[in-house]
Structure 1
Amino acid sequence: MTSLTGSDGINQALADIHKISCKMSCNHSGQVVATTVYLLETLKHYSWNQKVVLVVAAFALSFGEFWLLVSRRDEDPIAKSVNLLKGCLLIPDFNELVKLLRAMMVAVNSNFAFCVLPTSYIKKETSSMMGAIKYFPNPSCQIICRVVYIASTLGKEKVNNLNDFAEEIGKMNTTLQEKLKCCQEEVDEHRQKEYQYICDLIGQSKDQIQIIAKLTGKNENQVPERLKDRHVILLISDFNISIEEIKVLNQLIKKDHLYEMIWIPFGERLSSERNKFLELKKYMISFTFFEPFDIEQAVIEFIKKDWHFIKNPIAVSLKGGEVTCRNALPMLLTWGNSAFPFTDKTEKDKWDKMDKKWKLDLLVDEQIIGQDIESWKKKETVVCFFGGANIEWIKNFTAEVKVAAEATGVSLKMAYVGNNKGKGLARNELSLAKIHVIESEFQWHFWARFKSILQTKIQHGKTCKSDRIMQETMKILNYDGSGKEWAIFGMGSDVMVTMNGKTAITIMSKYKEWKKDVAKPRFFLQGIRSYMTKLSVDHGCIEVHLPVLGQLPGIVFCPKCYREMEMYYTYRCCDE
């Protein structure tokens, strides 16, 4: 049986639609039976439901051409000439024709619904499906005959029984709908049983191999035995996961070999999706993965409903058959492997032990920013991270910072980190200004850590008023999300200073006014902070965009005025 899915199946179906459309258009009313037989022979590799869908689609193609000619023949000479050549002289009653077309579309939708019934939940041998299959040939043939007749006479002969045809197709569709309802009830029953089985398996079984096999659509003997006693992280995503994210996770996986990571991607059975899979697979050198298109529908339902997967990747932590964390990805991106074994308690302990100050340690370590920048955390080295897309601002800012640093006698290190989409100015644009640009995967991780920190703080019920780290994180995400330039200054274990681009330029250009407060190089940040309090900074509009991870975040307060922030839904598609 020919499939209507997949690139090959769709291309073949389109070719057949064009072929039978031409045949119907070139036919006349006296050849309806012969043409119908020809169509059935041409479509013999399709099911009865698929035959109806393709024939009506072919008629839609013919009718579309007919309508274009008729609607333009009085004003367009070419359309008028083509109309004469085709012999389309009569205009049908369009009200009756529209009624018929609507009946056809309802029939198409019913037949298509049969085509996409999941065969894993309903077999041909079931009573409901056997009854439907026995019924299909008769109405399918009648619908196809009606379509062939109308397509053959359209504009050439007067057709008086369009309303009768519409009523006949409507009656056939009523019966189709009744049989479809019986089949769908059976599908729903089997799907619910399968979903409950997965819930029980995840909640009660301690057999890790069995769980992995079920989630990946494999037999247990196809799952590597080494996964039985290993700590496993299930990375669940679609095929739009970024290469930068994969590279970061690769480094974390192979760094300490504490766990195995299995990629479970969701996607349609299209050749374009398979090509994406094969392309991403090349970068997943440290991952374990299986054929992605074998995942059962009940598994997808469970992951979306119980593990709250929507679109953004999640990482489910699994040990000894027990789920230790439904989404360890924010934890992994914030703390790296030091958060192992990735439990809620581990994360809480990490935050409890951490100094609550806004310091360089949050932004600079070898697994997020690279070993070459790890050495920047020296006691008397001023580190400046900055972002923005205005090259003129960047040139002016970097020049002013270097002058101020030289005048105050501090060692200076600067790095451009793009924006939170992993994009930014091209390296060749910034190389002219001799600016250090962090590698793309480190840029991605830099921003992923910010968003992970904020999500965790929100989930833990923290507020900007009482949590300095949350406050400063929101500032940076707001500056970046609104397209503004920004800068962070840090030094050793001192508290960092965060500011927008306008404030940063102002402070650096007026370093002579606060230089007197820098008695020693290590007081550089203190001088900036002191002068910043003298400036009038507008509140402006604070906006922070976070990916939806299945559950809405709690109440969030403004990092500047501490009022409760409004929450909106945003749907975004960025082709960047």
Structure 2
Amino acid sequence: MFLEQSITENAIDVSHTLSEEQQMNSYHFQVVRSGIRSVQADPNGRQDAGIVSTIKQIGQTIHLISCEMLRYSSADRSLHATTMAVLELLGKHSWSTKLVIVLAAVATSFGDFWLITQLYPTNPLASSIASMKGLRNKIEVSKSLEQKLKAFRYLVEKMVSVTKCMVEFEMLPVQYTTLDYDAMAAMKTQIHIASYWTYAHPVYVTATEKKINSGLAHLFEEVHLDNQKVLSTLFALKDDYPLWDYQSEEKVSMVVLRNKEVILFISTLTIKLEKLLLIIQQLQNHPQNGSEKPFVIVWVPIVFCIPWSNAEERAFKKMSNIIPWYSLYEPSKLSLSVTKFIQEMWHFQGDPIMVVLDSKGKVTSLNAMDMISIWGPKAYPFSVSREQELWEEQTWTIEFLLDDIDPLVSYWMQDGRIICLYGSNNIGWVQELTNQIKDITKAGILLELIYVGSNYDEDTRDILSTIIKEKLSSYLPQTMIRIFWLRLESILSSKLRLGNTDKSDFILREVKSLLSFESSKKGWLLISKGSSTEILKLYGNKVLELLSLFQVWGHKVRKWGFMGAIRKALDPPSVIDQCNYYSITPYTEDLNENIALCKKCKCPMEKNFMYQCKINT
């Protein structure tokens, strides 16, 4: 088609010289100024009655055409029928005049929307109209504008280009238009076709997105033999090989996804590196059993504008060389309606999500990001029931917190060493803590002090620099620190999404506590031995006071162990002079690793062995 060819051949980058508001305000001013000139009759201010009457009639036609376009978005009739209704309203005007009127109708409808978005924050009437039109809040208005503005302006630019071409053709002198009858007939045919599609496209824009969204929603509700129909429809890019294989560096077809569980990694082109590294690390550090994974990941980059800019194309090429999964080969050709479906139905708002489709193309999870961030492939098949099952099995340990982020720390835990995790944005607190820990290690106690920072990157970077320079303690690298906190956020997000509460969920309480510590200038400390489920949590000056008294309670380490000695130092003196409570516990392999507390006086209990004859049992 002529219009499509014009769009393809004349695609241009949206200008970045002016802001969106500046450009639109300039455009509105030019239109109003042009309209004022058209009704000026002479220098004395007299107006021609015929001109005024004509303008009034055209204004009515513009209004009617605008109404027809809006009717299509709610009425059950075809695009062709609405387009023909528009043509009928245009009557016997020349083809170029018809196009100008249609452009005016489009500008009227869009101008109404633009005016609401500009006045919405401060004008009560605009706010009420926005609510009536379904734009319920400021955020929703701004998002609608951001997503639609560039695409709509691009379409209008092409419509204006076609219209100018027709106006210039109709203004050619007669001697140029009567030389070749066959060429003129062919050109008029092209004009009629181009005009038809120029009328049809704005009508289509007003309603097609809604209809395609509904069609895609029904598609995902249907039962399919495999995932090919769903994926081919979702990524209908008119290409038999729409995917890029990171490993082979070749284009591949959708067939490589058949009978696989497909995870769609949906993101913008500006992915936070740490989030990406967390997912990649979790998938690599926890390999799936078996030679072949039952699932594959496809990166789907989203940009809410048409066409992509050169900068966006470069950003995509750069990211596609980093992401170790399949990706769309030409995501810039992804339909705007599909983008809108992903946003509205799958709740994509800009932060990366991982939508899971089973082998038949059915959505089993709208976002498996948290599950993969916490457990990696172990979370397969990434369903809500699997997520609940994993939490039922999970215990609160330092091992779970660090999750193989640092291989050396994992070795220390397996070696049964005391692990102390700490964080602070106060370098004075850090220096005092590390000095006291060094005094304790000189007494022959094997413990490892590891700095894990906070979510405040700038403060953490400065503290970490000092720790490295002065060799104060062990530490996680900057990127690993960020991954550590992102994973904590995923744990919190998963727990809350499943409806857990502080009162009933111990892990949720502990994670919330850690995330609240991150903003503390005083610092915090977690102490645990190996993979024990017992974790002591201290913060602020209490940590420094306790460690400074090591000479007082340190002698108890030989009898009670380091954890038990600290606990005895923390607990108030017992009012019980003598306690004879005992408990018989069946033997297990890890029994010697755990320290049992007396249920009566809360003191550590001594271990004794009892032998029982099993002849009568």
**1:418 counterpart (424, 449, 453):** 453
1:499 has 2:544 as partner: no
Verify the 8 A CA contact 2:418 2:446 in the aligned structure 1.
Answer: yes
1:442 has 2:480 as partner: yes
Q: Secondary structure at the match of 2:402?
A: coil
Residue 246 of structure 1 and its aligned partner are, at CA, apart by 1.9
- The residue type equivalent to 1:137 in the other structure is V
Equivalents in 1 of 2:314, 2:32: separation in Å? Answer: 28
Verify the 8 A CA contact 1:402 1:412 in the aligned structure 2.
Answer: no
C-alpha offsets along residues 245-302 of structure 1, whole Å, 9 cap, x if unaligned?
Answer: 2223233445445232111122243333333323322321344343232232332332
**2:430 counterpart (380, 394, 397):** 394
Further displaced range: 248-257 or 492-501: 248-257
User: What is aligned with 2:466?
Assistant: 429
User: What is aligned with 2:256?
Assistant: 226
- The residue type equivalent to 2:83 in the other structure is T
1:523 has 2:561 as partner: yes
C-alpha offsets along residues 32-80 of structure 1, whole Å, 9 cap, x if unaligned?
Answer: xxxxxxxxxxxxxxxxx99956946999xxxxxxxxxxxxxxxxxxxxx
User: What is aligned with 2:313?
Assistant: 274
User: What is aligned with 2:523?
Assistant: 485
CA 1:217 to 1:532, structure 2 compared with 1: closer, same or farther past 3 Å?
Answer: farther
Equivalents in 2 of 1:483, 1:304: separation in Å? Answer: 39
Verify the 8 A CA contact 1:365 1:371 in the aligned structure 2.
Answer: no
Residue 183 of structure 1 and its aligned partner are, at CA, apart by 7.8
**1:461 counterpart (476, 479, 499):** 499
Residue 198 of structure 1 and its aligned partner are, at CA, apart by 0.7
Equivalents in 2 of 1:512, 1:192: separation in Å? Answer: 73
User: What is aligned with 2:398?
Assistant: 360
User: What is aligned with 2:366?
Assistant: 326
User: What is aligned with 1:451?
Assistant: 489
Residue 451 of structure 1 and its aligned partner are, at CA, apart by 1.4
CA 1:183 to 1:275, structure 2 compared with 1: closer, same or farther past 3 Å?
Answer: closer
C-alpha offsets along residues 119-162 of structure 1, whole Å, 9 cap, x if unaligned?
Answer: xx989993477678744537989xxxxxxxxxxxxxxxxxxxxx
C-alpha offsets along residues 527-550 of structure 1, whole Å, 9 cap, x if unaligned?
Answer: 334444559xxxxxxxxxxxxxxx
Q: Identity of counterpart residues, as a percentage?
A: 23
C-alpha offsets along residues 326-374 of structure 1, whole Å, 9 cap, x if unaligned?
Answer: 111111111122111212222222122233xx312211332xx132221
CA 1:8 to 1:123, structure 2 compared with 1: closer, same or farther past 3 Å?
Answer: farther
Equivalents in 1 of 2:317, 2:102: separation in Å? Answer: 43
User: What is aligned with 2:250?
Assistant: none
Matching of residues 19-34 of structure 1 within 5 Å: none
User: What is aligned with 2:100?
Assistant: 137
CA 1:445 to 1:469, structure 2 compared with 1: closer, same or farther past 3 Å?
Answer: same
Q: Secondary structure at the match of 1:519?
A: helix
Q: Secondary structure at the match of 1:362?
A: helix
Q: Secondary structure at the match of 2:470?
A: coil
Residue 305 of structure 1 and its aligned partner are, at CA, apart by 2.5
Q: Secondary structure at the match of 2:322?
A: coil
Q: Secondary structure at the match of 1:315?
A: strand
Equivalents in 2 of 1:222, 1:422: separation in Å? Answer: 42
CA 1:51 to 1:316, structure 2 compared with 1: closer, same or farther past 3 Å?
Answer: same
Verify the 8 A CA contact 1:379 1:491 in the aligned structure 2.
Answer: no
Further displaced range: 317-326 or 478-487: 478-487
Verify the 8 A CA contact 2:495 2:508 in the aligned structure 1.
Answer: yes
CA 1:322 to 1:496, structure 2 compared with 1: closer, same or farther past 3 Å?
Answer: same
Equivalents in 2 of 1:271, 1:532: separation in Å? Answer: 62
User: What is aligned with 1:152?
Assistant: none
Equivalents in 1 of 2:348, 2:318: separation in Å? Answer: 23
User: What is aligned with 1:304?
Assistant: 343
Equivalents in 1 of 2:103, 2:384: separation in Å? Answer: 58
User: What is aligned with 1:251?
Assistant: 281
Q: Secondary structure at the match of 2:240?
A: helix
User: What is aligned with 1:383?
Assistant: 419
Verify the 8 A CA contact 1:128 1:183 in the aligned structure 2.
Answer: no
**1:211 counterpart (230, 236, 245):** 230
Residue 489 of structure 1 and its aligned partner are, at CA, apart by 1.6
**2:553 counterpart (500, 514, 520):** 514
- The residue type equivalent to 1:305 in the other structure is E
CA 1:348 to 1:124, structure 2 compared with 1: closer, same or farther past 3 Å?
Answer: same
Equivalents in 2 of 1:505, 1:123: separation in Å? Answer: 78
Residue 202 of structure 1 and its aligned partner are, at CA, apart by 1.7
- The residue type equivalent to 1:403 in the other structure is D
Equivalents in 1 of 2:527, 2:331: separation in Å? Answer: 45
Residue 200 of structure 1 and its aligned partner are, at CA, apart by 1.3
Q: Secondary structure at the match of 1:226?
A: helix
Number of equivalent positions: 403
User: What is aligned with 1:567?
Assistant: none
Q: Secondary structure at the match of 2:525?
A: strand
Question: What runs of 5+ residues in structure 1 fail to find an aligned partner?
Answer: 19-48, 60-106, 142-179, 536-576
CA 1:52 to 1:6, structure 2 compared with 1: closer, same or farther past 3 Å?
Answer: same
Residue 483 of structure 1 and its aligned partner are, at CA, apart by 5.7
RMSD, matched Cα: 4.2
C-alpha offsets along residues 366-385 of structure 1, whole Å, 9 cap, x if unaligned?
Answer: 2xx13222112136411122
TM-score by length of 1: 0.60
Equivalents in 1 of 2:548, 2:408: separation in Å? Answer: 29
Verify the 8 A CA contact 1:417 1:443 in the aligned structure 2.
Answer: yes
TM-score by length of 2: 0.56
1:263 has 2:299 as partner: yes
Structure with the greater alpha carbon radius of gyration = 2
Verify the 8 A CA contact 2:426 2:521 in the aligned structure 1.
Answer: no
Verify the 8 A CA contact 2:300 2:327 in the aligned structure 1.
Answer: no
User: What is aligned with 2:186?
Assistant: none
1:339 has 2:379 as partner: yes
Verify the 8 A CA contact 1:122 1:187 in the aligned structure 2.
Answer: no
Residue 199 of structure 1 and its aligned partner are, at CA, apart by 0.5
Matching of residues 404-415 of structure 1 within 5 Å: 404-407=440-443, 409-415=444-450
Equivalents in 1 of 2:267, 2:437: separation in Å? Answer: 41
C-alpha offsets along residues 88-111 of structure 1, whole Å, 9 cap, x if unaligned?
Answer: xxxxxxxxxxxxxxxxxxx9xx99
Q: Secondary structure at the match of 2:461?
A: coil
Verify the 8 A CA contact 1:422 1:443 in the aligned structure 2.
Answer: no
Equivalents in 2 of 1:502, 1:415: separation in Å? Answer: 18
Equivalents in 1 of 2:199, 2:103: separation in Å? Answer: 18
Equivalents in 2 of 1:344, 1:371: separation in Å? Answer: 30
User: What is aligned with 1:41?
Assistant: none
Verify the 8 A CA contact 1:238 1:313 in the aligned structure 2.
Answer: yes
Equivalents in 2 of 1:126, 1:484: separation in Å? Answer: 69
- The residue type equivalent to 2:15 in the other structure is I
- The residue type equivalent to 1:10 in the other structure is S
C-alpha offsets along residues 431-455 of structure 1, whole Å, 9 cap, x if unaligned?
Answer: 1132333234432331122112212
C-alpha offsets along residues 490-514 of structure 1, whole Å, 9 cap, x if unaligned?
Answer: 2121411223243322322232343
CA 1:288 to 1:351, structure 2 compared with 1: closer, same or farther past 3 Å?
Answer: same
CA 1:217 to 1:511, structure 2 compared with 1: closer, same or farther past 3 Å?
Answer: farther
1:10 has 2:45 as partner: no
Equivalents in 1 of 2:325, 2:268: separation in Å? Answer: 18
